[in-house]
């Protein structure tokens, strides 16, 4: 599968609550109505939470970028299905309608997007964990940019083959239920989607997403503390913290044909 990650900042005249309400109640159903036209396999909204636990996690990494207000996640079976959806006449009409509605509540120039592939690191079977609004799960979102001393390929290789195993070894102590790396890859479709939205914020190297039980996150065991220290120490070898961000969120699933 291939997926689109679309980090969203709200328009300056809206509160986060207003933004998320419109996104969930108006825009979400509109996207879902075009799911078949756009060949979507899955569409999920990730809503940033209004709490300081994410800031506490970021604190160990120094000053980071402000959290986004949410993330739109879309999946396709493959690159061809994603491309075909945006090349057909019907697909282009649907895409225009969605961008017109996005402009009502999203700060489009400052909301970056990119295409990527998933690399599961800690993955239960079946893959059905969802941090819904009413459950005890919470989703940790970490879009990252790599150090200037590394190429995109070098950073992603280290992230996948060195950092991923480190997190896996400490997953149980850290109460991690699921951990996925999503690596950006450069594609002309990304450029097209950015151009129609007037996007100016550069894309990220990719993002990490982890699912935790809330109760587990609040238990400062020695093993969990040490695991967190090791993670941050290793992240500093390839992540530019000042140009990365992190926050906690809940998920709203609108389309799922997996």
Interval 37-66 mean pLDDT? 86
Q: What is the pLDDT of residues 172-204, one digit of tens each?
A: 888 899 999 999 999 999 999 999 999 999 999
Interval 57-74 mean pLDDT? 91
The answer on pLDDT for 96 being more than 90 is yes
Q: What is the DSSP letter of 70?
A: E
Residue 219: the pLDDT is 63
The mean pLDDT of the chain is 93
Residue 54: the pLDDT is 55
HSE (side-chain half, CA atoms, 13 Å) at 4: 27
The answer on pLDDT for 222 being more than 90 is no
Nearest to 82 by CA among 40, 44, 116: 40
Interval 92-113 mean pLDDT? 97
Residue 52: the pLDDT is 58
Count of residues making up the chain: 258
CA–CA distances in Å: residue 18 to residues 8, 11, 23, 208: 14, 10, 9, 27
Q: Which residues are within 8 A (CB) of 208 and not within 5 positions of it... i.e. 6 or more apart? A: 140, 141, 142, 144, 179, 180, 181, 182
Residue 253: the pLDDT is 98
Interval 70-99 mean pLDDT? 94
Interval 219-239 mean pLDDT? 87
Interval 42-49 mean pLDDT? 97
Burial class (CB in 10 A: 0-12, 13-18, 19+), 186: exposed
Q: Which residues are within 8 A (CB) of 89 and not within 5 positions of it... i.e. 6 or more apart? A: none
Residue-range domain boundaries for the chain? 2-256
2-11, 116-125, 214-223 — most confident range: 2-11
Predicted confidence band at 126 (pLDDT cuts at 50, 70, 90)?
confident
Q: Which class would CATH give 2-256?
A: alpha beta
Interval 85-96 mean pLDDT? 92
């Amino acid at each position: 599968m291939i997926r689109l990650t679309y980090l969203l900042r709200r328009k300056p005249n809206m509160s986060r609550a207003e933004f998320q309400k419109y996104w969930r109640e108006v825009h979400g159903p509109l996207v879902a109505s075009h799911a078949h036209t756009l060949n979507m396999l899955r569409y999920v909204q990730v809503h940033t939470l209004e709490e300081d636990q994410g800031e506490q996690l970021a604190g160990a990494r120094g000053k980071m970028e402000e959290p986004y207000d949410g993330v739109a996640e879309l999946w396709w079976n493959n690159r061809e299905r994603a491309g075909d959806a945006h090349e057909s006449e019907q697909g282009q009409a649907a895409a225009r309608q969605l961008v017109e509605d996005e402009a009502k509540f999203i700060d489009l120039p400052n909301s970056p997007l990119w295409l990527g592939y998933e690399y599961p690191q800690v993955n239960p079977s079946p893959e059905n964990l969802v941090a819904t609004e009413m459950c005890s799960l919470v989703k940790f979102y970490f879009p990252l940019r790599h150090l200037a001393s590394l190429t995109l390929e070098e950073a992603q290789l280290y992230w996948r083959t060195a950092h991923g195993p480190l997190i896996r070894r400490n997953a149980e102590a850290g109460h991690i239920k699921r951990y996925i790396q999503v690596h950006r890859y450069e594609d002309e479709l990304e450029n097209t989607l950015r151009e129609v939205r007037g996007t100016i914020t550069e894309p990220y190297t990719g993002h990490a997403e982890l699912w935790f039980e809330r109760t587990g996150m609040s238990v400062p065991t020695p093993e969990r503390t040490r695991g967190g220290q090791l993670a941050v120490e290793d992240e500093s070898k390839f992540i530019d913290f000042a140009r990365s961000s992190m926050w906690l969120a809940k998920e709203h699933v609108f389309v799922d044909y997996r």
